[in-house]
Amino acid sequence: MDRFTDKVVLVTGAGSGLGLATARILSREGARIACVDVNGESAERVAAELGATEGRAIALTTDVTDRTACREAVASTVTEFGKLDVLCNIAGIGRFQHTLDVDADDWQQIIDVNLTGTFLMCQAALPQLLETRGAIVNTASIAGLRGQAYAAAYCASKGGVVLLTKALAIEYSTRGVRVNAVAPGGINTPLIPAGFIPPEDADPQLILRASAPTHSMAEPEQVAHTVVFLASCDASYVNGAVLVVDDCVLH
Residue 1 lies in a domain: no
The type of residue at 149 is A
Residue 250 lies in a domain: no
Please give the tally of structural domains in the chain.
1
Does the annotation count 154 as an active-site position? yes
Residue 229 lies in a domain: yes
Residue 110 lies in a domain: yes
Find the domain containing 133 and state its range.
8-245
CATH number for 53: 3.40.50.720
Catalytic residue among 150, 154, 172, 237: 154
Distance CA 91, CA 52 (A): 21
Residue 42 lies in a domain: yes
Q: Which residues are CB-neighbours of 152 under 8 A, at least 6 positions away?
A: 99, 102
Residue 251 lies in a domain: no
Residue 81 lies in a domain: yes
Could you please report the per-residue DSSP string of the chain?
--TTTT-EEEEETTTSHHHHHHHHHHHHTT-EEEEEESSHHHHHHHHHHHTGGGTSEEEEE--TT-HHHHHHHHHHHHHHHS---EEEE---------GGG--HHHHHHHHIIIIIHHHHHHHHHHHHHHHHT-EEEEE--GGGTS--TT-HHHHHHHHHHHHHHHHHHHHTTTTT-EEEEEEE--B-STHHHHH----TT--HHHHHTTS-TT--PBPHHHHHHHHHHHHSGGGTT--S-EEEE---TT-
pLDDT digits (tens, 9 = 90+) for 59-118: 999 999 999 999 999 999 999 999 999 999 999 999 999 999 999 999 999 999 999 999
Which pTM was predicted? 0.92
Amino acid 75: pLDDT: 98
Q: What is the pLDDT along the chain (251 residues), one digit of tens a residue?
A: 799 999 999 999 999 999 999 999 999 999 999 999 999 999 999 999 999 999 999 999 999 999 999 999 999 999 999 999 999 999 999 999 999 999 999 999 999 999 999 999 999 999 999 999 999 999 999 999 998 899 999 999 999 999 999 999 999 999 999 999 999 988 887 665 555 677 777 777 666 555 555 557 789 999 999 999 999 999 999 999 999 999 875 55
Residue 44 lies in a domain: yes
Distance CA 117, CA 180 (A): 16
